[in-house]
Amino acid sequence: MEFIIKEILDTTLHKHRNKCPEDITDLVFLEIEKSYVAEYENSVRYKGVDTINKFIGKLIRQHWDLKNIGRCNNPKSRLISSYEKHCNY
């Protein structure tokens, strides 16, 4: 999953790098839904949904050096029930 998340951030969502939207985590999960569901579900079977989702959120924050700014409890992605909002400003 690490390679996939970095790939999403460095290609598809790269335009947001310098002015990161608060919902970047939701945007990453929406990309996973579009193109990487099989890989995601395989990781979830192996490690568990909570472990994988927390790993993805932490990786997003670390990869772009973001700050946590609060929770969102109504994501657009069906893969998560909430996420930590981030910013880089």
Query: Tens digit of pLDDT for each residue in 37-72?
Result: 999 999 999 999 999 999 999 999 999 999 999 999
In this prediction, residue 57 carries a pLDDT of 96
Helix, coil or strand: residue 27: helix
- pTM recorded for the entire structure: 0.95
Which is more confidently placed, 70 or 89? Answer: 70
pLDDT on residue 27? 98
- pLDDT for residue 77: 98
- Per-residue confidence (pLDDT) for residue 21, from 0 to 100: 96
- The token pair at 3 is 């390679």
The closest of 27, 24, 34 to 67, measured between CA atoms, is: 24
pLDDT at 71: 96
Domain ranges of the chain: 2-87
Instruction: Label residue 73 exposed, middle or buried (CB < 10 Å: 0-12, 13-18, 19+).
Output: exposed
Banded model confidence at residue 89, pLDDT cuts 50, 70, 90: confident
